[in-house]
Chain A
Amino acid sequence: MVRSVRFVILTENETKRHRTADIYRHIFILSLSLCLMAVCMTNCPTLIVTVGLPARGKTYISKKLTRYLNWIGVPTKEFNVGQYRRECVKIYKSFEFFRSDNEEGLKIRKQCALAALNDVRQYLSVEDGHVAVFDATNTTRERRATIMRFAEQNGYKVFFVESVCEDPRVIAENIVQVKLGSPDYTDRNTEEAIQDFMKRIKCYENSYQPLDEDLDRELSYIKIMDVGQRYLVNRVLDHIQSRIVYYLMNIHITPRSIYLCRHGESDLNVRGRIGGDSGLSPRGKEFAQCLGRFIQDQNIKDLKVWTSQMKRSIQTAEALGVPYEQWKTLNEIDAGVCEEMMYEEIQEHYPLEFALRDQDKYHYRYPKGESYEDLVQRLEPVIMELERQENVLVICHQAVMRCLLAYFLDKSAEELPYLKCPLHTVLKLSPVAYGCKVESIYLNVEAVNTHRDKPENVDISRLPEEALLTVPPHY
C-alpha cells in the first residue's frame, strides 16, 4: 500500500494553523491500517479451511481465530457450514442425515458448502474482507480439492487448520460443552443427544482422509494434535499465516479466569485530568486494600499479577502483598500534548483535535501521542501472553482495559473506545463454550466517573458547551 504524502496534502483542507507535521499526523487518521498488519497484509485474501471430525474444536478455533484477527485489524469472517445446513434443513431429525449413503443428505450438504463458498467470495472479493474462515469438517480429499479449485479461480491463498484428537475424554467434554446446546438438539435429552452425536461422528470416520505429510506436501497447513500437544506445520507462505500459526500454538483450553481492573482512583482522576503519572487518592488506596481482600477471597490458584509501569497501578498492586510483574506495554494511552489536561482545557486549547477525536475515537491519534489503534498494536504481545497463561489479574488503565476487553468480548473498533470500564470495578472473564462469561464486581469504594460518552455534535464548528456535554463531573 502506498502511503503518498502528496496525495493527502491535496485532499486535506485543514486550517492554516497546522504545521506540516500535523498534516502527516492526519494522514494517519485517514489511512486506516498503519499498524503492523499493514506491513504484511497479504495482497491476496486468505481462505482458512478447517479440517476434522465433529467435536474436534474446529468451530472453537474458527471463532477464536476470527476474533483475534479482527482485533489486530485484519477484517475476518467465519462461515460455518453447519449453520447453512440448519437454514436449509429446518429441523434436524437424527444422525441418519449424515450417513455416507444418504443421497439426499449429501446433495443438501454439498449445496450448503457451495452456498457458503459463494458468501466467502462475496466477502473477500466484493466486500473488504481479508480473511475468511471456512468452518466445516472438510474431511475428504475431494471436498478439499473443490475448495482449492474455488480459491485458485478467485486468487485466494488457502491455509488448512486440521484438528486431530483421539482422546475420548476431550471429545466427550466437547460434546457436553457445545453440542448439547446446539439448535440441533433442543428437543433431546442429554443421553439421547450424546448417543446421536457419537453416531454422527461415526458417519464421517469412514471417509475421513486426514492431511497427509506426503500426499499433501504442497499444501499450507497446520495439524493440531491432541489439543495442542503436538503441531505439524507445513509450508507457511506469508506473514499472516505465520501469525496464525503462532496464535494457534499459544492458545489452550485449560479452564481459568482473567481478572481485569483499573488502578485505584488517582489524584489526577479526582481532578478530571487525563494521563499523567500520579499516585492514588485516599479512596484509591482504600480500593487497593479491598482488591487485596477480594483476591484473597477468590482463592485463585497460581494467580499472576500484572501491572503497567505507572505509579497508580503499581501502588494498587503493592497492596495485594503478592509478587507482580510490570509491563511497560500496559501503560495508559499517551495523550501527547494533552497529557494531564482536563477535557475543558483540551476544548479550550485544541478544539479541532477534540472534535476530530469525537469523530473517530478509535483512529484518532493525540498530537505527539497515541491512538487506540496504536494501543491495540502495542497490546498484542500482552494478549498473546494472556492466552498462554492461566489465572491472571491485570491492573491497568481505562483505554488499555477497553482494548483488552474488546479482544475478549469481540467488540468492534467503533465500540471499543466507549466500553464502560469504571474505576473500582473488577471484571472476571471466564472462557465458556465459544465465548467469554463476564462477571462485574464493584468493590464498593466510591470513585469519580471517568467515562466520557460521544457527544451528539462532533462537528469541528460546534460550541464548547456541545463539546463538553458529556464530560463527567470532577473536583
Chain B
Amino acid sequence: MCSQFLNTQSAVQAGPNDMSTEQKELTQTPLLKIWVPGMGSSLGQRRGSSRPQFTNCPTMIVMVGLPARGKTYISKKLTRYLNWIGVPTQVFNLGQYRREVVQTYKNYEFFRPDNEDAMKIRRACASSALKDIANYFTKEQGQVAVFDATNTTRERRGVIISFAKERGYKVFFIESVCDDPEIIEANIMQVKLSSPDYENYDKEEALVDFLKRIDCYKLSYVPLDEEKDRHLSFIKIFNVGSRYLVNRVQDHIQSRIVYYLMNIHVTPRSIYLSRHGESELNLLGRIGGDSGLSSQGLKYAKALAEFIRGQSIKDLKVWTSHMKRTIQTAEALGVPYEQWKALNEIDAGVCEEMMYEEIQATHPEEFALRDQDKYRYRYPKGESYEDLVHRLEPVIMELERQENVLVICHQAVMRCLLAYFLDKSADDLPYLKCPLHTVLKLTPLAYGCKVESFYLNIQAVNTHRDRPTNVNIARKTEEALQTVPEHQ
C-alpha cells in the first residue's frame, strides 16, 4: 500500500526562518537516486534518514488471548509482513523465555494459577522480555515489537501499558477470541504437539495436557472490554476473522496492521510462482525490455499448461504482468487470467535491454554501486528492489485474500514475492534463485511456508548473476563481469 514512505528524507534547514535567496544546489545521491541539497561528489553518502516514517515513535503490539488462539501465528505473520514492507519488527515470544529458564517442561501444573513458584518465574520472564523490547527500540533501531504472550489479565496488561507509557511507546493490542472447539483442536494438532514442550509426550497425552493448560488460564481471563478498555487501541478478532472489533486506531502503521489482519485467512491453499517462459532477450543476455517468448519459452508455456492441469487445482486464479512474455505464457494455459501492471519487471531505466557487458562498458560506476547494495540501488531513471516491494504490496495483500493462485511474473518480481513468503531479508532478496522454467509451489504450513520446486524439464538460459567478489568502483572489467551467466 504505501511505498511512499520508503526513501523518505526529512530535510531540516539550518535556520527555521532562513528565507535567503541563496538556494543550495541539489545533487542526486548515487545509490538511491534521491535529490538532496548541497553535497559534495562523494559517492554513497546520504543525508538524513531514509527510514520509512510510518509512525513517529516505536510501537508495541501486544497479543491477548487464551492458548491455541493463533497468537503466535498472527505474531509471526504480521512481523514477516512488516519487515517486508520495510518496518523493522521483531517478535518476543514469552513461551521461549520460559523454556530457556525452565529447561524441561513437566506438565500443565506449571500454569496453575496457584503455583507461586511458577508465577514468579513467569513474571520474571515477562520483565526480561520487556527489557529486551526496550533494548530493541533504543539500541537496535527497531520500530515495532510484537509481544507474543497470553496477556489475559488486566493486571498484566496494566504492567505493559505503564512500561510503554514511561518510555513513550505506543501500544496496540491484538486479541484473538475463539470458542470453536474444532478450530482449537486443529490448532493444537498443527503447532502445539510439535512444540519442544511435548517432545516426550505421545499425541493423546499432549492434547489432554494442553487442554488442561488452557483451563488454567480460563479462570483469570479478562478479555478486552468495549467499555472498560475504551481508551486503549486494539483489534479483537473473533473466530478466525468472521468478526472484528477495532478501537481507537492511532496512526498509519496501526491502520495498515488492521487492514492486513482483516485480509489474512487460514483456509488451506497453494500459491504457484513462476516466471514467463524464456524470452528472446533472455537468450541474448539482455535485461528488461518487452520481448516475446523464444521457442524454448513457448515449449515451457505448453509444459506449464500440462503441469497445471495435472495439479487439478480448485478454482485457480491466474495472474500475469502487462508484459508480452508473461501474457504469452498465460495464453498457453487456455484459462482466464488477469493482468497486473504492478507485476511488471523492475524498470532498469537507462540500462533497459542492455547486456551486463554493455552496462559495465557504459556505466561502470552504476554497475559497481548495484553490486554494493543491490536491494536499495535504483537504476538511473529506473527502479530499485526497494521500489519494487512497494509496488508489489497490493499484490501481496490480494494474494493473502485469495486462495489458489498462479502468478506468472519476472525474476526480480518473483524474488520480492518469494522473500515475503519465505521471510528473506533485504540482503538475501535480490539474490534468491528464481530460474526460468521452474514453478515454485508455496503452501502455508504451521507458522511458515512449505516450498516445492518443479523444474518442467525445458532447457533455458540461466539469468542469475551472483554478487561478484570485487564490488569496488575501481575494479577491473573482468572482475565486474566475473559472475555474468552465459548467453548467445
Interface residues of chain A, those whose CB is within 8 Å of chain B, are 1-6, 20-21, 24, 28, 34-36, 38-40, 213, 217, 229-236, 239, 242, 245-246, 249-250, 277, 279, 285, 288-289, 292-293, 306, 309-311, 314-315, 317-319, 321-330, 368, 374, 377, 381-382, 384-385, 388
Contacts and interface: CB of A to CB of B under 8 A. Distances in A.
A237 to B, nearest CB: 11
B338 A381 contact: no
A246 B259 contact: yes
B191 interface: no
Contacts of B259: 242, 246, 249
B401 interface: yes
Contact of B19 (A34, A236, A292, A327): A292
B243 A232 contact: yes
Nearest to A304: B53
A6 B332 CA distance: 11
The 5 closest A-B pairs by CB, nearest first: A327-B4, A321-B13, A231-B246, A323-B10, A233-B244
Contacts of B106: none
A311 B1 contact: no
Contacts, number: 168
B3 A328 contact: yes
A234 B241 CA distance: 8
Range of interface residues on B (Cβ < 8 Å): 35 or more
Given A314-B35, A323-B11, A381-B4, A388 B252 contact: yes
A285 B338 contact: no
Contact of A324 (B11, B247, B390): B11
Contact of B5 (A234, A277, A325, A384): A325
Contact of B262 (A28, A229, A233, A277): A233
A39 B13 contact: no
A344 to B, nearest CB: 23
Given A213-B243, A319-B23, A385 B249 contact: no
B10 A329 contact: no
Given A231-B245, A315-B35, A325-B53, 8 more contacts: A6-B331, A36-B342, A36-B394, A39-B319, A318-B13, A318-B23, A323-B10, A325-B4
Contacts of B35: 309-311, 314-315
B4 A385 contact: yes
Contact of B6 (A5, A28, A250, A328): A328
A4 B328 CA distance: 10
A285 B25 CA distance: 11
A298 B26 CA distance: 27
25 contacts: A1-B336, A3-B338, A6-B331, A21-B291, A24-B327, A230-B230, A230-B248, A231-B247, A233-B243, A233-B262, A242-B401, A249-B249, A249-B255, A306-B4, A309-B34, A315-B35, A318-B11, A318-B26, A323-B12, A325-B4, A326-B34, A329-B3, A330-B4, A381-B3, A384-B2
A311 B29 CA distance: 12
A5 B341 contact: no
B18 A1 contact: no
Given A326-B9, A328-B7, A377-B341, A24 B324 contact: yes
B339 interface: yes
A3 B339 contact: yes
Contacts of A324: 10-11
B345 interface: no
B19 A385 contact: no
A30 B259 CA distance: 33
A153 to B, nearest CB: 26
A158 to B, nearest CB: 16
Contact of B341 (A24, A35, A249, A288): A35
B312 interface: no
A230 B226 contact: yes
A277 B350 CA distance: 14
A15 B49 CA distance: 51
A247 B26 CA distance: 37
Interface string B396-413: 001001000000000000
Nearest to A367: B290
Contacts of A326: 7-9, 34
B378 to A, nearest CB: 9
A309 B23 CA distance: 18
A127 B336 CA distance: 24
Interface string B454-487: 0000000000000000000000000000000000
Contacts of A239: 398, 401
B263 A20 contact: no
Given A6-B331, A388-B255, A382 B4 contact: yes
A235 B265 CA distance: 12
B214 interface: no
B34 A279 contact: no
Given A233-B262, A309-B34, A318-B23, A34 B398 contact: no
A396 to B, nearest CB: 12
Nearest to A19: B290
A234 B340 contact: no
B243 A234 contact: yes
A289 B337 contact: no
Interface centre among B3, B226, B390 (most CB of A within 10 A): B3
A279 to B, nearest CB: 7
Contacts of B3: 328-329, 381
B234 to A, nearest CB: 10
Contacts of A323: 10-12
A20 B149 CA distance: 57
B258 interface: yes
B349 to A, nearest CB: 11
Contacts of B16: 321-322
Contacts of B30: none
A213 B243 CA distance: 9
A327 B3 CA distance: 8
Contacts of A277: 381
Contacts of A384: 1-2
Contacts of B33: 309
A385 B255 CA distance: 10
B277 interface: no
Interface in B6-50: 6-13, 15-19, 21, 23-24, 26, 28, 33-35, 37
A1 B246 CA distance: 34
A292 B418 CA distance: 45
A217 B243 CA distance: 9
Nearest to B352: A368
Interface in B116-130: none
Contacts of B285: none
Contacts of A229: 230, 247-248
A289 B26 contact: no
Contacts of B252: 385, 388
Contacts of A311: 26, 28, 35
B387 interface: yes
Contacts of B103: none
